[in-house]
Structure 1
Amino acid sequence: MDNQCICQFVIFGATGDLASKKLLPALYHLECAGMMPKEMRILAFGRRPWDDHGWQDFLREQLETYATNYHPEHFDDFCRHFSYVRGEIHDKESYQQLRSALTPEGADKPAATIFYLAIRPADFIPVVQQLSGAGFNQEGDYRIVIEKPFGDDLESAIHLNEQLHHHFREEQIYRIDHYLGKEIVQNLMVYRFANLAIESLWNRNYIDHVQITVAEKGGIESRAGYYDQAGALRDMLQNHLMQILTLVAMEPPPSLEADTLRDEKVKVLRSIRPIPKSAVTAYAMRAQYGPGVVDDQHVPGYQDEAGVETNSVTETYVAAKFYIDNWRWRGVPFYLRTGKRLENKTSSVAIRFRHTPQQLFRETSIEKIEPNWILLSLEPESMKTEIQIKEPGLEMRVRPVQLNASYRKDGEQELDAYEALLLDVMEGDKALFIRFDEVEWAWRVVDPIIKAWGRDSDYILTYPAGSWGPDEAIRIMDKEDQYWRNHL
């Protein structure tokens, strides 16, 4: 199954935000690039009372709005892949209609199919049960793609996984985290493992600490119903940031096969030091954005957003530190932070080296030698090394310079994360998808924080929208000379 390209694709939630903003543009770009299988059939499953023409009007509008390189001349060819199936995700008869639409003429069962669940997490289990009841189950060549969040705590994640495995095999389940599809994230492995000069320094003997940041300028938009129940810890840190942490910290895998990569990532998660219940405040802090100014526009605070509960203490910012107790990383803090309504939109990994062990310049004008950094920006893309050089002139003074190792040449097109991951699903490559033990151990890591914050629900710090978050975030750092790298 894993090496076969499947040529039927069903999108549940085809008229929702995820499909409009990510899936449909990604599929369209694959078509324009000639990477979509010509025989691919895509069925859009939705509630709206449309025929194929109504769907095509909607599709054109979404592509004009969200596709980065929309060319009308490609639209008709793209449309030929699509059919619209009207149905309700909780209606048994709708799945029988879907089965008929997916069964080739003269065949007794549906052809191999990908089911993409671009729906709210509460509907994952009902849809999986309905698909299994309609004959899309372990006995056929079917693949289920599930978006995060995979559960909202350890217990619910285990329950969801049990339900999935009741109907489908693990090799049929693709848990998607779009951050793993970003080229710069994949390039992190090449940067580490294909460069001896880098890999030899990638350990506790040389590295002082690691920072992983995912900052967003936007607020919660129309997601209050979900976000006010989830918060930044569940929405971002437990999945996106933890996945980046595992790629930074993992040992070299014996090959690039899916399970060997994921084995090494799980080893990292299992090695993270458990956070003591009594010490959560020393390891993690949370905050919520208040009113402020973003791009010269006054914006409301979180509690004034539409749909947010009165006096909500849901965090829109979280900063936490973790220690990986293994031979490579023992004693090196990994600082993770994410937040909404911050000063800039960025995703980055900042790795600071230790200070030099010699006071060679103590009798010169140089008061202090700053340490070196490796600065990996995932969005926007860049890869830099920061070193110290002497300033021109008679006095002995230094300044930092950055060596830029960005890999994209002028005119080279960036491949969107969803485009890469959708191709992998079609081809059965699971290397960039998440195995359940990764999910489980990531929840185990953050579970003490979730429980502590669940008991402390009376007060939450605030920070002005348009800032870099609360000043108090510095308190989780181990040393006085450590600070957050806001600008790379």
Structure 2
Amino acid sequence: MKNITFIILGATGDLANSRIFPAIHRIACSENSPKKIAVIGVARKPMTDESFRDLFGKSTGNPTGKKWKELRSRIYYFQTDFDTDFGFEELGSKISEIERTHSIDSVRLFYLATLPEHFESIARNLKKFCMKKTGRKMVIVEKPFGQNKKTAVEIELEIKKCFAENEIFRADHYLAKPILQKFAFPDKEILKMKKLLNKENVDHVQINILENSGIGKRGNFFDRTGTVRDVGQNHLMQMLSIIAMNPPKNKMDIAQEKTDVLNAVSGIKSENIIFGQYDEYQQENGISLKSKTETFFSAKIFIDNKRWQGVPFFLRAGKHMGGKLVSIYVKFKQSKKNLPDSIIIQVHPKSGIFTIQRNKENGASNTAKIHGPETGIEEEYEFLIKEAISGSKKIFLNMEEIEKSWKIIDKIREKKSVVFTYKKGSFGPEKALTLIENTGRNWFNKIL
């Protein structure tokens, strides 16, 4: 791996501290680590280099040893507002100075871990002040990519002025989850299973992203975003695409296969969408007492193509749910005697692929794990960053996917009128139950 300078914009935020810093530390301490690494954290909060090094170390479990000591000496902090030219002019000089100090002349990786409203100004200022004439450059852009389709396109135009397409890595860390990669890039065993997933065999599909916690310290961000934009536009749409797409002919075809699924989404109607807000949400820090921001939504949609015509897909995401569960539940038609009752791809809490067999006579069920979690695998952010450094884009999004997913989410948000209150620890408002029960089906809430 080549020499590299990581420039993390939004370096005092939760994402940087909980995911990006630990990933960089693991990369730096691995056997195949770059020969030389420098890390520059950029944020608005006043902080010294030493204080930032302490913060970085704390986020990685207060490591010790020679490799940490070496990395720590190459960690720096730069304070600036993301919307000012002057700060970025200084930042550009600072990056060059640090690279000269440590003889790093190969790769600059900019990681945009800020709120999406800063992406455009950051891109403009990086182009003006932080590019170098030689060496490779790249940018990882975190979700959410914009606030709607319009802002996503505007951000893309600014980033494209600074970086070429092969230098832009639009990240959704769910695509680095091993169990979802199994379905995105299926082996023979999974391919055999995927061939069963079609309108002839499947009664319906449920996709769940349920959290048993609230908004934490993200009140200001979350109240302007809501659950639909926070996880619907990215995680839910990616899980939908992966389970419903045709197997790609090669790893580079996956983006087109996912885009084809998103293009075929239909059935977005007011009666098929429920919004909810957990009780006491308006008493959270940073939340308006009259806030109508949803902390839950569920939807029934269809995929209008030959493979899935007429099969309902039920989407659900929420906070302060009765359990923490991220899963895809595929219910087979009862008339299919040679097939299991259902297949569950559980992403969290314990990843695995399960089948449920149901006794036709007494209704008893038996659950079997047919594929367990991978062992010895890299943490998803470590894998994501390594893939970007290598230049591979197989687990990253292209702009067409993002535009299509925003088109769906914008339509869903347009249907928002009533936001129903639900109790913390439940599985959402009563209306969400009737959404699926009125079709003769039930939500699958079981954690396997």
What is residue 64 of structure 2 aligned with on the other side?
A: 72
- The residue correspondences of 1:213-252 to structure 2 (distance < 5 A) are 213-252=208-247
Contact residue 183 and residue 415 of structure 1 kept, 8 A = no
Q: Secondary structure at the match of 2:203?
A: strand
Q: Hey, what's the Cα distance between the residues in 2 that align with 1:162 and 1:11?
A: 21
Deviations 1:419-465 (A, max 9, x none): 11111111111111111111111111122222232xx3xx4211100
What is residue 372 of structure 1 aligned with on the other side?
A: 341
Q: Secondary structure at the match of 1:204?
A: coil
Q: Secondary structure at the match of 2:156?
A: helix
Q: Secondary structure at the match of 1:58?
A: helix
- The residue correspondences of 1:153-302 to structure 2 (distance < 5 A) are 153-190=148-185, 194-257=189-252, 260-273=253-266, 275=268, 280-290=269-279, 301-302=280-281
Letter in 1 for 2:37: M
Q: Hey, what's the Cα distance between the residues in 1 that align with 2:172 and 2:133?
A: 24
> How big is the shift at 1:370?
11
Letter in 2 for 1:476: L
Contact residue 3 and residue 36 of structure 2 kept, 8 A = no
Letter in 2 for 1:419: E
> How big is the shift at 1:306?
1.5
Q: Secondary structure at the match of 1:344?
A: coil
> How big is the shift at 1:100?
3.1
Q: Hey, what's the Cα distance between the residues in 2 that align with 1:218 and 1:146?
A: 26
What is residue 441 of structure 2 aligned with on the other side?
A: 482
What is residue 102 of structure 1 aligned with on the other side?
A: 95
Letter in 1 for 2:258: K
Deviations 1:378-429 (A, max 9, x none): 0121210111348xxxxx64521112123337xx345322111111111111
Contact residue 27 and residue 36 of structure 1 kept, 8 A = no
- Give the counterpart of 1:424 among 387, 401, 407: 387
CA RMSD, Structure 1 to Structure 2 (Å) = 2.7
> How big is the shift at 1:372?
0.6
Q: Tell me whether 1:407 sits opposite 2:372 in the alignment.
A: yes
Q: Secondary structure at the match of 1:426?
A: helix
Q: Hey, what's the Cα distance between the residues in 2 that align with 1:59 and 1:209?
A: 45
Q: Secondary structure at the match of 1:115?
A: strand
Contact residue 373 and residue 385 of structure 1 kept, 8 A = yes
Deviations 1:57-93 (A, max 9, x none): 22222323xxxxx643353243244233344433434
What is residue 39 of structure 2 aligned with on the other side?
A: 42
Q: Tell me whether 1:384 sits opposite 2:369 in the alignment.
A: no
Q: Hey, what's the Cα distance between the residues in 2 that align with 1:480 and 1:89?
A: 49
Judging changes above 3 Å, is the alpha-carbon distance between structure 1 residues 401 and 171 closer, same or farther for their aligned structure 2 residues? same
Q: Hey, what's the Cα distance between the residues in 1 that align with 2:221 and 2:79?
A: 25
Q: Hey, what's the Cα distance between the residues in 1 that align with 2:214 and 2:262?
A: 30
Using structure 1 for the length normalisation, give the TM-score: 0.83
Q: Secondary structure at the match of 1:311?
A: coil
Q: Secondary structure at the match of 2:305?
A: coil
Letter in 2 for 1:314: T
> How big is the shift at 1:273?
1.8
Task: Return 5+ residue gaps in structure 1 as ranges.
Answer: 65-69, 291-300, 359-368, 391-395
Contact residue 191 and residue 198 of structure 1 kept, 8 A = no
> How big is the shift at 1:309?
1.1
> How big is the shift at 1:99?
2.6
Q: Tell me whether 1:473 sits opposite 2:432 in the alignment.
A: yes
How many residue pairs match? The answer is 441
Q: Tell me whether 1:464 sits opposite 2:423 in the alignment.
A: yes
Contact residue 216 and residue 340 of structure 1 kept, 8 A = yes
Deviations 1:448-483 (A, max 9, x none): 222232xx3xx4211100111112113333864311
Judging changes above 3 Å, is the alpha-carbon distance between structure 1 residues 51 and 314 closer, same or farther for their aligned structure 2 residues? closer
Judging changes above 3 Å, is the alpha-carbon distance between structure 1 residues 420 and 105 closer, same or farther for their aligned structure 2 residues? closer
Q: Secondary structure at the match of 2:17?
A: helix
> How big is the shift at 1:121?
1.5
Contact residue 9 and residue 116 of structure 1 kept, 8 A = yes
Contact residue 209 and residue 325 of structure 2 kept, 8 A = yes
Contact residue 321 and residue 333 of structure 1 kept, 8 A = yes
Task: Report the structure number with the largest CA radius of gyration.
Answer: 1
Q: Hey, what's the Cα distance between the residues in 2 that align with 1:478 and 1:21?
A: 39
Letter in 2 for 1:485: F
Q: Tell me whether 1:433 sits opposite 2:396 in the alignment.
A: yes
> How big is the shift at 1:146?
1.3
Q: Secondary structure at the match of 1:208?
A: strand
Q: Hey, what's the Cα distance between the residues in 2 that align with 1:377 and 1:138?
A: 46
- Give the counterpart of 1:89 among 64, 67, 82: 82
What is residue 319 of structure 2 aligned with on the other side?
A: 340
Judging changes above 3 Å, is the alpha-carbon distance between structure 1 residues 262 and 330 closer, same or farther for their aligned structure 2 residues? same
Q: Hey, what's the Cα distance between the residues in 1 that align with 2:430 and 2:155?
A: 38
> How big is the shift at 1:263?
0.9
Q: Hey, what's the Cα distance between the residues in 2 that align with 1:373 and 1:72?
A: 48
Letter in 2 for 1:353: F
Deviations 1:132-161 (A, max 9, x none): 111528997321111111111222222222
Q: Hey, what's the Cα distance between the residues in 1 that align with 2:32 and 2:423?
A: 45
Letter in 2 for 1:286: F
Q: Hey, what's the Cα distance between the residues in 2 that align with 1:97 and 1:460?
A: 46
Letter in 2 for 1:443: W
Letter in 2 for 1:262: A
Using structure 2 for the length normalisation, give the TM-score: 0.90
Q: Hey, what's the Cα distance between the residues in 2 that align with 1:51 and 1:177?
A: 31
What is residue 363 of structure 1 aligned with on the other side?
A: none
Q: Hey, what's the Cα distance between the residues in 2 that align with 1:192 and 1:477?
A: 33
Q: Hey, what's the Cα distance between the residues in 2 that align with 1:240 and 1:272?
A: 16
Which 4+ stretches in 1 moved above 6 angstroms?
A: 137-140
Contact residue 436 and residue 443 of structure 2 kept, 8 A = no
